[in-house]
């Protein structure tokens, strides 16, 4: 069991930056994948970025070149650095953890992740 808490959301103008954080109740170092998802009103939850146990990162096309996922050395905190924000990035952002032990490809479906935070709101105005 792991408890996740997101923070760092807020309101910014187009082109601005935000850094989201996700604090875990214990180290997630042994977990296969950590990820960020987002969900806008009336839309399905969508995958944004993942980081695997081996440190490999993957991003949805809209996030490539603008967002960066990382974690601290103790794997207690997960980050999402978001630059060049656009109005279409506005959503509730959630961190998630796949507790499977070992190495493997990170899933992009919410069903691949067992643990979720409560979310942090990001609003980008034009």
What does DSSP say about strands 18-24 and 4-7: parallel, antiparallel, or unpaired? Answer: antiparallel
pLDDT of residue 101: 84
Residue 36 in this model has a pLDDT that exceeds 90: yes
pLDDT of residue 13: 98
Give CA angle at 109 (22, 54), nearest 5°: 60
pLDDT in tens, 49-105: 999 999 999 999 999 999 999 999 888 899 999 999 999 999 999 999 999 988 889
**Whether the Cβ atoms of residue 6 and residue 96 lie closer than 8 Å to each other:** no
**C-alpha dist (Å) from residue 70 to 6, 52, 88, 99, 117:** 14, 10, 22, 17, 17
Mean pLDDT of the residues in the chain? 96
* CA separation for the pair 89, 67 (Å, rounded): 11
């Amino acid at each position: 069991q792991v408890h996740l808490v997101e923070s760092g959301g807020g309101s910014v103008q187009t082109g601005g930056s935000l850094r989201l954080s996700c604090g875990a109740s214990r180290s997630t170092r042994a977990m296969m994948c950590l990820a960020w998802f987002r969900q806008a009103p009336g839309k399905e939850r969508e995958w944004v970025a993942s980081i695997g146990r081996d440190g490999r990162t993957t991003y949805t096309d809209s996030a490539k070149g603008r967002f960066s996922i990382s974690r601290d050395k103790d794997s207690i905190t997960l980050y999402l650095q978001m630059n060049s924000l656009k109005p279409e990035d506005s959503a509730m952002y959630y961190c998630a953890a796949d507790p499977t032990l070992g190495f493997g490809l990170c899933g992009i479906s919410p069903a691949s992740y067992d643990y979720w935070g409560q979310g942090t709101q990001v609003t980008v105005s034009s």
